[in-house]
Structure 1
Amino acid sequence: MSTPSTSCQHVVYAQQLREISQVLAHNQAFEAPQWTPREPLLNGQMSVFEIQPGLLLRRVDVYDRYDLLSQAQLHPGIKISLVLEGQAEVAFDQQVIQLRAPDAGGVIVTLPKTAAFSRYGYAGRYERTLTLTMMPEWLQNSGIDWLYLRNTFNEARLQPWQPSIALRQALTALFSPQLGSTTHEAQRLQITGYALALAGEALDFMALPEHYRRPRYTQAQTDPRIARLLRQLDAGQGLMQSQETLATQLNMSLSALQRQFRRHTGETLGHYLRHRRLKRAQQSLSQGQTTIDEAAALAGYTSAANFATAFKKTFGLNPRDCQNHDPLHKA
């Protein structure tokens, strides 16, 4: 069950930061022109919990006291980083990404081997971040084919990602005083549940075809109405509604909705809805929750044969084979 590896509150000194992060990284170094080693590096609090062997959750709620460059070597595995408030600028093997809450705050990082990590801090900048680390042994024990992933990618792979609205809202509870430690069994269970939910959504996203992994919510490029619709659909809400009904809810004409959706996502609304419905059916089948006929109805098909045809075209396998050939699980 989840137990705290280490934590600190109010201010964070360099040595404390090394101790907190030692299970996640090694060879840590800090560069801050205005900083002296006797002074803390950060204001705020940090903690790392071992949820299960090889599954670690890091909570960060800090202000930078200085312009600070932090560097380290990260162990192989998969990391999910999510900025819930503020912003962060980090790099994995010199691939820099800026994360800003709420619309561009998440990234999934696959590290096939030890990777260089950098964090760029700026005096006065605030960051509230969750990072879930899935180490190779946890991935293998959970049925994720880590050997396949490791052999597929030669370098760090960064995938911008956003959780569902419901999960993002739920994860804010991890920073409540009630979940500040794992002293009580109920608290440990809650933290474990949040961590596994985060892992589940991210791994499910990784299983989507490449076409569906683009960041969709950036304010600079997306009509707020389309962004709202995408969040709603990705949370599983309104998937079975007609396009006309969705347009009415957004105070748009059907033609305007279809035009703007394609402009901002690069695909038609009908195609997107079909895929999300099929994906929901695929998840239900993989979890052993439905029959083929029930999954077909869940995807909006009255014919199981038509459903099977669409399913195989989308995922490359028949519905009956779905559980044994899940893209992120061993055959």
Structure 2
Amino acid sequence: MPDGDCMEHRGPRGSRCGERFDGDWRPGFAALDGHYIKRVLREGLSLSAQDVRVRAPFEVCGVRAAGVMLHFVLEGRVRASLGGEALELGRGAGEPVRMVMSAANDSMAFRRRGSAGDRVRGVNVEMSHAWLRANGLGALADGAKPSLRRTCGSVLPEDVRLLERLIRLMPEDTPLARLEVEALALRLICSTCAEFAGRAGCGAGMGRDDRRKLARMEQFIEAGQGDLPELSEIARIGNVSLSTMRRMFRAAHGCTVQQYVRGTRLARARVALERDGVTVAEAAHLAGYRSPANFATAFRRATGLAPSHLARSKARMPPV
């Protein structure tokens, strides 16, 4: 991630192999464990998903065609650049999932590097300018002058579940699976368009003072432990009224304050389960739940996975 039409992979000890994207992509060197698959859904519309662990350092270089790409990283950091500019793709511990949209009017060189031990899970949706305009979405393609335009947006909990489903579904190469992948990709595009339309409608262009207040509230939420904070407490940290706080979170993240808090805590719990080997009860406490059963229900609803499954997977995983 990101993807390109043609690329060269540099693996361990300078080994190289060139490969063109004609459907599924599997690296020609043993640098990755897991799957990294790209599919062309329609002319001008493609989707790629990856769930990989890097075994050895590598570098991917290539050319990305003009168009728009939506990047979603559910776990890990991606060290990538497009046209010489860093894309800054990734998700840290406790951070909510974010969408990054990169739009380019011209073909651009891209580069990605990986280091041993990296774990990355994510999805890309790539759209050509012709596909966007044919579907009445030309506004997403406008404004890239002349090279790269980068925009960030929030991802709602239901879209996180959709992304998890895509990552699990992509290795299945059946007619029904391909149809579902296309349907889910279109839902992601619709959700992204609604996000930007909502921003324009509510005037999300915050001043510097409002951005500082929002940042203080976000930091307070992300640093919290144990029981979830009261809304009045969060508003006090930002020195704003409850109504102003709600408006700010809706404008910046496209969700309610409660959804942001829950999403942040559940993301932290997932990282703790997968990386730190905590128990389900400990993860429930991190997420602000007093009942592990209630936590398991909320976690499964948000991610499509059972927390006990992640805990068992961590216990079985050999050291890297």
Q: What's the secondary structure of 1:124's corresponding residue?
A: coil
Aligned residues: 230
Give the aligned residue type for 1:82.
Answer: F
Give the Å deviation of 1:25.
Answer: 1.9
Report if the CA contact (8 A) 1:46-1:58 is conserved: yes
TM-score (norm 2): 0.59
Report if the CA contact (8 A) 2:129-2:141 is conserved: no
Structure-2 residue corresponding to 1:253: 232
Structure 1: how far apart are the matches of 2:223 and 2:133?
35
Match of 1:124 among 86, 109, 117: 117
Structure 1: how far apart are the matches of 2:100 and 2:239?
23
Report if the CA contact (8 A) 2:68-2:141 is conserved: no
The structure-2 alpha-carbon separation of the partners of 1:49 and 1:104, relative to structure 1 and needing over 3 Å to count, comes to same
Structure-2 residue corresponding to 1:29: 8
Structure 1: how far apart are the matches of 2:127 and 2:247?
33
RMSD: 4.0
Identity rate, percent: 18
Give the aligned residue type for 1:172.
Answer: E
The structure-2 alpha-carbon separation of the partners of 1:29 and 1:56, relative to structure 1 and needing over 3 Å to count, comes to same
Give the Å deviation of 1:98.
Answer: 3.0
Give a deviation string over 1:107-160, Cα, whole Å, max 9, x none. 1101111111111211121111111001122101111226x9446522211112
TM-score (norm 1): 0.57
**2:104 matches 1:136:** no
Q: For residues 128-277 of structure 1, what are the structure 2 equivalents within 5 Å?
A: 128-145=121-138, 149-150=141-142, 153-176=145-168, 180-185=171-176, 187-207=177-197, 208-209=199-200, 212=204, 222-225=218-221, 250-253=229-232, 257=235, 259-260=237-238, 268-269=244-245, 271-272=247-248
Give the Å deviation of 1:191.
Answer: 1.2
Structure 1: how far apart are the matches of 2:180 and 2:55?
32
Structure-2 residue corresponding to 1:91: 81
Structure 1, unmatched stretches of 5+, are 1-16, 229-248, 280-331
Structure-2 residue corresponding to 1:291: none
Report if the CA contact (8 A) 1:68-1:122 is conserved: yes
Give the Å deviation of 1:269.
Answer: 2.3
Q: Which structure is larger by alpha-carbon Rg, 1 or 2?
A: 1
Give the Å deviation of 1:227.
Answer: 10
Give the Å deviation of 1:61.
Answer: 1.6
Structure 1: how far apart are the matches of 2:217 and 2:189?
28
Give the Å deviation of 1:32.
Answer: 4.4
Report if the CA contact (8 A) 1:261-1:268 is conserved: no
Give the aligned residue type for 1:133.
Answer: E
Structure 1: how far apart are the matches of 2:237 and 2:62?
46
Report if the CA contact (8 A) 1:108-1:202 is conserved: no
The structure-2 alpha-carbon separation of the partners of 1:143 and 1:227, relative to structure 1 and needing over 3 Å to count, comes to farther
Structure-2 residue corresponding to 1:107: 100
Report if the CA contact (8 A) 1:65-1:123 is conserved: yes
The structure-2 alpha-carbon separation of the partners of 1:168 and 1:25, relative to structure 1 and needing over 3 Å to count, comes to same
Ranges of 4+ aligned residues in structure 1 off by more than 6 Å: 213-216, 218-221, 273-276
Give the Å deviation of 1:33.
Answer: 5.6
Structure 2, unmatched stretches of 5+, are 17-27, 256-320
